[in-house]
């Protein structure tokens, strides 16, 4: 269309150019002749100048009056057309790109690019009533991507504690121990948080008689704590060469809730700990209720089943002990009746078990010396 208009206007422009050139030539000739015939005058008639003395043709008069407005309108029309064409091409490109993305999502299937919002599966058939719109499919793909990339949360929050034991254990009472116990920040809320803490806490740099604990939020690695006072722990004496790998496996069993699954109903894992000794590491697993024998057996079974053969401890290198049986245990006065009641209940249960099974004796190995 623009080409057709340009072709129609071309003769008019050429004619105007010729007339303008001819008029300029006539004006110069008229001025020169009048100047030479009347020296000292400007060569113009009284009341007329050179431009007024020459007549305009109708076409030139029309161009003089309407030429510039028409040219402005023409240029504005061309600019508007180009702008509209640009936006139309962009819109068409975006629609084609969107259709290609939807086809790509559908080709990979809903398991990769869509996050289902209901139990009713969506069909890849475009004629099915369960298929989502392109916008819904894009939103599903975005949500699925964010879900895949987000940090994997742990079931419980965990805290890391550190303490340095005094050389004279007799002088370490409950108050002094709590003062030396240091809580490290931040808390562990995801698997990524755990590996960030673990990779930046090399076990081989922990000095002798220093300890590191990984405990659930709300628990403290203190025997006399209200949540630990009735509990106990398994302790494994591990050679220093195997200590780091053994400690990693125990921590993963804890935050992965494998140890919790091995407990009897009503019991709870409190945390795990590592203490450095002269030629070994003491790795412990704390739980809340020492009266549940199934929990005690279940924890040991879980550990032995999930360790590689080279990490398996010898039978005389692990033992179970209640917190209240430790020499330094001092129950708060208000909780002492609870501890005494548990002891009586456990003694009664042990007597009943011995009477029913006289050939079986439940006995924990002796605690090795430090």
| Residue 98 reports pLDDT greater than 80 | no
Q: What does the block give as tokens for 245?
A: 């790998």
Question: Is 231 strand, coil or helix?
Answer: coil
| Residue with the larger pLDDT of the pair 21 and 319 | 319
Judge if 21 and 169 occupy the same domain: no
Cα–Cα nearest to 19, from 69, 57, 50? 57
pLDDT band at 358 (very low <50, low <70, confident <90, very high): low
Within 8 A by CB and 6+ apart from 240, the residues are 204, 279, 280, 281
Q: What is the pLDDT of residue 324?
A: 85
Q: What percent of the chain has pLDDT over 70?
A: 57
Question: Which CATH number is 283's domain given?
Answer: 3.30.760.10
Q: What is the pLDDT of residue 332?
A: 72
* Residues 249, 176 share a domain: yes
Do 74 and 209 have their domain in common?
no
CA distance 213 to 219: 11
Query: Where does the pLDDT of residue 37 fall: very low under 50, low under 70, confident under 90, or very high at 90 and above?
Result: very low
Helices (H) and strands (E) in the chain, counts: 11, 7
pLDDT given at position 54: 52
Residues 163, 80 share a domain? no
If one counts the domains in the chain, the total is 2
Task: Say if residue 72 is in the same domain as residue 194.
Answer: no
Q: Which of 82, 100, 118 is the last residue of a domain?
A: 100
Q: How confident is the model at residue 317 (pLDDT cuts 50, 70, 90)?
A: very high
Please tell me whether residues 328 and 211 are part of one structural domain. Answer: yes
Residue 370 has pLDDT above 50, yes or no: no
- Name which of 158, 324, 159 is nearest 225 in CA terms: 324
The boundaries of the domain holding residue 6 are 2-28+51-100
The pLDDT, as a whole number, for residue 165 is 78
pLDDT in tens, 174-194: 556 677 889 988 889 999 999
Contact 311, 319 (CB under 8 A): no
Average pLDDT, rounded, for the chain: 74
Percent of the chain with pLDDT over 90: 33
C-beta neighbour count of 56 within 10 angstroms:
14
Task: Please indicate, yes or no, if residue 147 is contained in any of the structural domains.
Answer: no
Name the DSSP class of 367: P
DSSP lists the bridge partners of residue 162 as 182, 212
44-78 pLDDT per residue, tens: 445 445 455 555 667 777 767 777 788 888 888 88
Gyration radius of the chain's alpha carbons? 47
Top-confidence range, 38-47, 57-66, 74-83, 92-101 = 74-83
Closest CA to 115 of 131, 139, 98, 151: 139
Which strand ranges, in their side-by-side order, compose the sheet holding 318-322? Answer: 182-190, 153-164, 210-216, 269-276, 280-287, 232-239, 318-322
- Whether 296 is covered by a domain: the verdict is yes
CA torsion angle for 135, 138, 143, 146 (degrees, to 10)? -140
Residue 116 lies in a domain: no
Looking at the fold, whether 191 and 58 belong to one and the same domain comes out as no
Cβ(279)–Cβ(336) below 8 Å: no
Q: Is residue 254 part of a domain?
A: yes
**Residues 96 and 159 occupy one common structural domain:** no
Tell me the C-alpha distance between 341 and 337, whole Å.
Answer: 6
DSSP string over 246-272: HHHHHHHHHHTTHHHHTSPTT--EEEE
pLDDT band at 256 (very low <50, low <70, confident <90, very high): very high
Work out the pLDDT band at 146, boundaries 50, 70, 90: low
Task: Pick the more confident residue, 257 or 5.
Answer: 257
CA-nearest of 324, 305, 141, 149 to 222 is: 324
User: In this structure, is residue 278 part of a structural domain?
Assistant: yes
pLDDT of residue 329: 81
pLDDT recorded at residue 145: 64
Same structural domain, 75 and 208: no
What pLDDT digit, counting tens, does each position of 318-340 carry?
Answer: 999 999 888 888 877 766 777 67
Residue 106: the pLDDT is: 44
Q: With a cut of 70, say whether residue 128 has pLDDT above it.
A: no
| Cα distances (Å, whole numbers) of residue 150 to 43, 196, 264 | 92, 15, 33
Region 5-30 average pLDDT: 57
Residue 300 CA to residue 206 CA, distance in Å, equals 26
Residue 102 confidence (pLDDT) above 50 = no
pTM of the shown model: 0.55
Give the pLDDT confidence score for residue 109 in this predicted structure: 43
**Of the candidate ranges 106-110, 213-217, 223-227, 290-294, the one whose mean pLDDT is the lowest:** 106-110
pLDDT of 264-301, one tens digit each? 998 999 999 999 998 999 999 999 999 899 999 999 99
| Res 231 pLDDT > 80 | yes
Q: Both tokens of residue 298? A: 């279940």
Confidence bin at 83 (pLDDT 50/70/90): confident
Q: Please identify, among 76, 100, 124, the residue that sits at the C-terminal boundary of a domain.
A: 100
């Amino acid at each position: 269309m623009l080409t057709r208009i340009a072709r129609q206007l071309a003769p008019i422009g050429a004619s105007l150019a010729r007339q303008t050139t001819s008029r300029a030539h006539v004006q110069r000739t008229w001025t020169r002749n009048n100047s030479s015939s009347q020296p000292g005058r400007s060569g113009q008639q009284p009341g007329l100048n050179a431009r007024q003395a020459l007549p305009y043709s109708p076409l030139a008069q029309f161009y003089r009056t309407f030429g510039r407005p028409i040219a402005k309108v023409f240029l504005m029309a061309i600019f508007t057309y180009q702008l509209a064409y640009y936006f139309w091409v962009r819109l068409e490109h975006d629609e084609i790109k969107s259709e290609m993305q939807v086809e790509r999502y559908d080709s990979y299937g809903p398991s990769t690019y869509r996050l289902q919002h209901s139990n009713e599966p969506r069909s890849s058939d475009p004629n099915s009533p369960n298929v989502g719109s392109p916008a819904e499919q894009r939103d599903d793909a975005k949500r699925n991507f964010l879900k895949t990339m987000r940090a994997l949360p742990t079931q419980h929050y965990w805290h890391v504690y550190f303490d340095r034991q005094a050389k004279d254990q007799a002088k370490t009472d409950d108050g002094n121990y709590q003062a030396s116990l240091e809580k490290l920040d931040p808390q562990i809320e995801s698997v990524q948080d755990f590996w960030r803490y673990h990779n930046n806490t090399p076990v081989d740099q922990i000095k002798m008689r220093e300890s590191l604990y990984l405990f659930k939020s709300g628990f403290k690695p203190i025997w006399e704590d209200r949540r630990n006072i009735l509990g106990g722990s398994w302790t494994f004496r591990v050679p220093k060469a195997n200590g780091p790998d053994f400690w990693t496996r125990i921590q993963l069993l804890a935050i992965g809730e494998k140890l919790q699954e091995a407990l009897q109903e009503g019991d709870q894992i409190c945390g795990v700990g590592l203490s450095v000794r002269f030629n070994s590491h003491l790795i412990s697993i704390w739980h809340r209720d020492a009266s549940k024998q199934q929990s005690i057996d279940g924890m040991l079974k879980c550990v032995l089943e999930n360790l590689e053969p080279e990490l398996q401890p010898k039978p005389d290198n692990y033992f179970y002990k209640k917190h209240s049986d430790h020499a330094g245990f001092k129950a708060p006065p208000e909780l002492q009746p609870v501890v005494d009641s548990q002891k009586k209940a456990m003694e009664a249960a042990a007597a009943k078990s011995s009477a029913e099974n006289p050939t079986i004796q439940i006995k924990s190995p002796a605690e090795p010396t430090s």
